[in-house]
């Protein structure tokens, strides 16, 4: 059995045992941080990460927002690269050094981060909803990294799906029956169809 097949099997077994893996990374420091050693930990479910790379060459895209660094050619696929630090309001001390290539919701994109910290296995009961604690829309939950103990390290689990949806919204012309399996009817078309029928 190949190494990648063993990795997949282990992750499937984790899901069956009420556990998951979280990739921990750092994005930088807030403008008003006095202590750069206290940079916050962030996390993303490992299932969403295709690969982790040293930052490749980025090509800027004319007219793009400050949340998008540009595009990168990763193994023949051109993907958008999002500036995750900028999106959450942090500033990398030495610039983003790592690219997290992610796949979910039929999209592939890269997230620029300052550094990768670790991959940890957690039980779902170590994850707390951020709904009542977070004013922003980018954090879904807080993960207790060291377990359900007092003074555990906390990681902010980012809602990367929402971030992608907000920054790279699908164009109406791309939403068709062919690529979603659903028929998309624009407002007013249903009334016109009923009037004709």
Q: pLDDT digit string (tens) for 43-92?
A: 999 999 999 999 999 999 998 888 999 999 999 999 999 999 999 888 88
Q: pLDDT digit string (tens) for 129-175?
A: 877 665 567 898 999 998 888 888 899 999 999 999 999 877 543 43
> What pTM was computed for the model?
0.74
Rounded percentage of the chain residues whose pLDDT exceeds 90: 45
- Which residues, in sequence order, are bridge partners of residue 71? 59, 80
Q: Which residues contact 148 (CB under 8 A, 6 or more apart)?
A: 125, 126
Q: pLDDT digit string (tens) for 84-93?
A: 999 988 888 8
Query: Band of the pLDDT at 7, cuts 50, 70, 90?
Result: low
Decide: helix, strand or coil at residue 186. Answer: coil
Return the HEC string of 79-132.
EEEEEHHHHHCCECCCCCCEEEEEEECCEEEEEEECEEEEEEEEEHHHEEECCC
CA gap 37, 15 in Å, rounded: 33
Decide: helix, strand or coil at residue 37. Answer: helix
- H/E run at residue 21: strand 19-26
Fold observed for domain 3-171: OB fold (Dihydrolipoamide Acetyltransferase, E2P) (2.40.50)
Rounded percentage of the chain residues whose pLDDT exceeds 70: 71
pLDDT of residue 189: 53
């Amino acid at each position: 059995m190949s190494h990648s097949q063993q990795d997949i099997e282990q992750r499937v077994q984790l899901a069956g045992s009420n556990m998951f893996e979280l990739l921990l990374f750092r994005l930088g420091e807030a403008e008003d941080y006095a202590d750069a050693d206290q940079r916050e930990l962030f996390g993303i479910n490992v299932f969403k990460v295709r690969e982790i790379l040293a930052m490749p060459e980025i090509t800027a895209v004319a007219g793009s927002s400050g949340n998008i660094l540009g595009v990168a050619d990763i193994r023949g696929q051109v993907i958008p690269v999002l500036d995750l630090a900028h999106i959450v309001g942090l500033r990398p001390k030495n610039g983003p050094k790592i690219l997290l290539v992610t796949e979910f919701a039929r999209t592939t994109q890269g997230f620029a981060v300052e550094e990768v910290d670790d991959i940890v296995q957690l039980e779902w009961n170590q994850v707390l909803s951020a709904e009542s604690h977070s004013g922003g829309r980018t954090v879904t939950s807080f993960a207790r990294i060291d377990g359900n103990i007092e003074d555990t390290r906390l990681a902010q689990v980012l809602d990367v799906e929402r971030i992608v949806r907000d920054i790279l919204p699908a164009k109406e012309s791309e939403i068709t029956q062919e690529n979603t399996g659903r028929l998309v009817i624009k407002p007013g078309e249903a009334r016109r169809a009923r009037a004709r029928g």
